[in-house]
A and B are shown apart, each in its own frame.
Chain A
Amino acid sequence: MELSLDSLKHRKISSSLTILGIVIGITAIISLMSIGEGLQYAVAEQLEAAGSDKIIITSGSGSDVLMSALFGEGLKESDIDMIENVNGVEIAIGFLFNSFPVKYRKETLMTSVMGLRSEDTEKVFSQMKVFEINKGRYFEPNEKGAAVLGKKAALDLFEREVNIGDSVYVKDTKFRVIGILKSTANNQRDNAIFIPMEQLRDITGSKDSITMIIAKASDVSRIEDIADEIEEELEKEYGKGYYQATTSQQIAESVSSIFSVLSFVVGGIASISLVVAGVGISNTMFTAVMERTKEIGVMKALGATNYDVIQIFLIEAGLLGLIGGIVGTILGTIISQIITIAAGSVLPVEFKAVVTIEMIIMTLLFSFFVGIVSGLFPARRAAKLQPVEALRYG
């Protein structure tokens, strides 16, 4: 160990350049992965805000939950009651999504329009708390011509702020704004306009299809079983595979698995630079072995075994990697802080680049490992030197 530190001091420029290679690589990996990790947290937080006791029922199967949640209309209104009767389901509500031109004063814009059954509004707003009213109120059963606006739909969508009592037009049908929601941290919902489902059907002409049903489980610990039961119930009615019940946790998992693949790919590309840095370590170590041929000869003549010699050089190479890893981790963490600050002023959503302890441990181990692997070949060469030859060298 002392020997290694000694020789590192001696060849200062060479060692620091070698370490610099690792530093650059690790810095890049840490800062890129911190972005991926941060995105994952942001999504998870959003989903958590929706509550961990929710089950989302959409048509379709397998990986296309998202697709059918957006475009599908395979469910029927009567399914809501059926699901509500499933054991373990506290309440269930249905949504019908669409996009329409919405007019306020002289401005017309496309935005999402969501239909809610007026008998469900009580459940949506006060029991399930999928949305919460900020100002005004929500519609009453059988109320017509009333709309509730998402926060952004009221504040940002149109040039002028929409207030309670104003009128908006959805495809020429007039609606009076009776309430404005709190932000839900979901862009689409915040930009949406909520109207009674019956009236949305009048506009679109659709019969009884709905896009999505959200059910609230009475017992969070049994949520997976309840989701299974809902699926079974729907299968009895329609056949296998038509419908899918997904818990909020499953959605969070599938989203985070997408991000981990992304992080993995980006991290992988950035790791190429670590391989290059490793080659740099090998190079430095070969030079070190050459420079110290005589020294090695002396050591061996004094009884050092091959193993001793290998150990000396491996520790040196490992140290080069580890020091690079430590400095790189520190720099990467600083950069991720800078990204967080910069993102705050640029991005509309809250975003924080996150460096986890796992990431730090993994990168340190990785950099040490790169050092060791790069040192193997030079160290073996040093160990194989014949003492007599080595002493004669130079």
Chain B
Amino acid sequence: MLDIRQRTGYLFLAVMVAQVILVSAQVQSKSGVRILSLVTFEAFSHLERAASGGISGTRGVWDRYVALRGLRSENDELKKELASLQVKLQEEHALAERTTKLQELLDLKTEAGLPTIAAEVIAGNPNPGMRTITIDRGSADGVQADMSVIGPAGVIGRVVGPPARHAARVQLLIDRNAAAGALTERARAGGMVVGMDADPPLRMELVSNLADVKVGDAVIASGVDGIYPKGFRIGRVERSERGNGLYRTITVRPSVDFSSLEEVLVVLVPPRPATRDEGSK
């Protein structure tokens, strides 16, 4: 008969071995537990949507009730009235700002000439080390894996993994596992922009030491990866130095403010196979 310590030890060993097998299966096939991932994501997206709605509701209650209750303590009637007007003005400002953002998205939609669908950010990544977001559009809206996601300021990221019916996971361009084919707008020097855990969060790789890349040059998507539409803004070169090997050391400041993503556009064009670098000279 096993004592409790032995049993705990065996259980621990079994759980660890099971997970090692699970990890190994994925490393070999790259698609080992897609179903597990999809089912969890599908089920959880409803909770995320509800939580997002709850947060918006709480914000509304806070803005409209708690803040006003705080103002009641003011004895002066005029101050009270002024404060209530100020709150209303803030609301109007917020509404106007949101309208402007939506207008920008609409303009972009018209300019881009690509079939797109607007989506709202409903959640972030549960793992603090990864930079992905969840949007409220999924396979039911025509969203597929590897479709690019853009915003008025430029490239945001791409849809990763199989989307749920009404939700999809978007890997931001600044995630350490993200990459995009890119070129500098002025000199057309081609390379690859990758995300990293630093400031600025983008690095441009595979650009020859001979290429003419200067600080301030705009970096745009080259389209060679078959995911991101060619010509869309990625960022600006913040540092460009001659590297030790064949390639330059280039850091890029993204044009998108990733800290305040609320609405995005999903480009409804299925990804095509990557091509040879057509942007570089």
The answer to whether A and B assemble together is no
- Residues of B whose CB lies within 8 Å of any CB of A are none
